[in-house]
């Protein structure tokens, strides 16, 4: 519950307004390394909503996250972004499971 509330209240309005700049993507990409799994989950969620192609390499790295929910959310974000690189990474990840 906390994950969706913080996304809606703090970051999602920015993406809905089309106001996400490169610095926000950079910040969210850094948050993918946070020790708190909720922060990592939220960062993945918002990057998927933004659909930033620049985030694909970092999201691919998240497929190795220790937390299963964070990894699952990364597959969802990569699928939404939908570049060939993202889709290939999902396919490779799923074949290893």
pLDDT surpassing 80 at residue 18? no
DSSP structure class, residue 19:
-
CB 60 within 8 A of CB 52: no
| Tens of pLDDT, residues 39-58 | 999 999 999 998 989 999 99
**Mean pLDDT (whole number) for 27-39:** 95
Distance CA 10, CA 12 (A): 6
Nearest 5°: phi and psi at 49?
-70, -40
Number of domains making up the chain = 1
User: 75: how many CB neighbours lie within 10 A of its CB?
Assistant: 19
Distance CA 30, CA 53 (A): 15
Q: Which domain holds residue 20?
A: 2-96
pLDDT surpassing 60 at residue 2? no
The alpha carbons of the chain give a radius of gyration, in whole angstroms, of 12
pLDDT surpassing 60 at residue 6? no
CATH number for the domain that contains residue 77: 1.25.10.10
Q: Is the pTM of this model over 0.75?
A: yes
CB 24 within 8 A of CB 43: no
| Tens of pLDDT, residues 68-79 | 999 999 999 999
């Amino acid at each position: 519950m906390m994950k969706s509330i913080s996304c809606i209240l703090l970051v999602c309005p920015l993406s809905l307004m089309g106001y996400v700049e490169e610095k926000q993507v950079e910040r969210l990409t850094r948050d993918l390394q946070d020790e708190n799994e909720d922060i990592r989950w939220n960062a993945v969620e918002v990057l998927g909503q933004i659909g930033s192609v620049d985030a694909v390499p970092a999201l691919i790295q998240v497929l190795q996250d220790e937390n299963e929910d964070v990894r699952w959310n990364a597959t969802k974000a990569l699928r939404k972004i939908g570049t060939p690189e993202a889709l290939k990474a999902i396919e490779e990840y799923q074949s290893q499971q």
